[in-house]
Amino acid sequence: MEFHPNRNITKKKPYRICFVCLGNICRSPTAEGIFQQKVTECDLNTFFYIDSAGTSAYHVGEKANAISRRIAESHGVSLLSRARQFNSKDFYKFDLILAMDSSNYTNIMKLKSGITNSQVELMRSFDPIGSNEDVPDPYYGGINGFENVFTILMRSSEELLKQLSPYLVNE
Ligand code: 4NP
């Protein structure tokens, strides 16, 4: 997918991205950690504000899932988030809201009312392989599911940063 953010990205007005899944303990903290890592590697920290949330309140306050953290760590990515629930104010706090699956997307859109500038997209609309599919929920499966999630999110995050890069403006 070709994505166009609704404005240029400057240090004065960092681009705010919120990754969203169901529990905010597996997929969205992994996406947050990977994207944060890429931004740091490229020395672009001042251009971005990165967060994650869950559509449910099941795990509010918890650290990321232990398997998610272990796999991320094995790839050099630290997951430091604490789970929080996505809420309607987030439409005003973020420029881009990225849903991990179509069910998350539907639940996010149910909370949207009024006019906001935020754009809501599926995370895998940025995946060069299997675009617009779901990032599969790994919670009730085995370790392979978590590895698969990491690989998908690495690929999608790379493409996301690539598509935002032309909008970075030094001023
Ligand atoms: P996540 O995974 O949405 O990627 O954080 C899940 C975490 C917890 C549950 C489901 C999915 N749960 O049902 O508690």
Q: Domain range spanning residue 29?
A: 12-169
Point out the catalytic residue in the list 16, 21, 51, 124: 21
Q: Cα-flanking dihedrals φ and ψ of residue 159, to 5°?
A: -70, -40
Which ligand 1 atom is nearest residue 104's CA? 3
The set of residues, in sequence order, having a beta carbon less than 8 Å from that of 145 and lying 6+ positions away, is 136, 138
Starting at the edge strand found earlier in the chain, the sheet holding 96-99 runs 48-54, 15-21, 96-99, 119-122
Number of domains in the chain: 1
Which ligand 1 atom is nearest residue 149's CA? 4
HEC string of 122-147? EHHHHCCCCCCCCCCCCCCCCHHHHH
CB of 79 closer than 6 angstroms to any ligand 1 atom: no
Q: Is the pLDDT of residue 20 over 90?
A: yes
Q: What is the pTM of this model?
A: 0.98
Does 20 reside within a domain?
yes
Provide the pLDDT for residue 154.
98
Residue 21 annotated to the active site? yes
Residue 69 annotated to the active site? no
Does 52 reside within a domain?
yes
Does 139 reside within a domain?
yes
| CATH number, residue 47 | 3.40.50.2300
pLDDT tens for each residue of 60-116: 999 999 999 999 999 999 999 999 999 999 999 999 999 999 999 999 999 998 888
Half-sphere exposure of 164 (CA within 13 A, CB side): 25
Give the distance (Å) from ligand 1 centre to CA of residue 137: 7
Give the distance (Å) from ligand 1 centre to CA of residue 145: 13
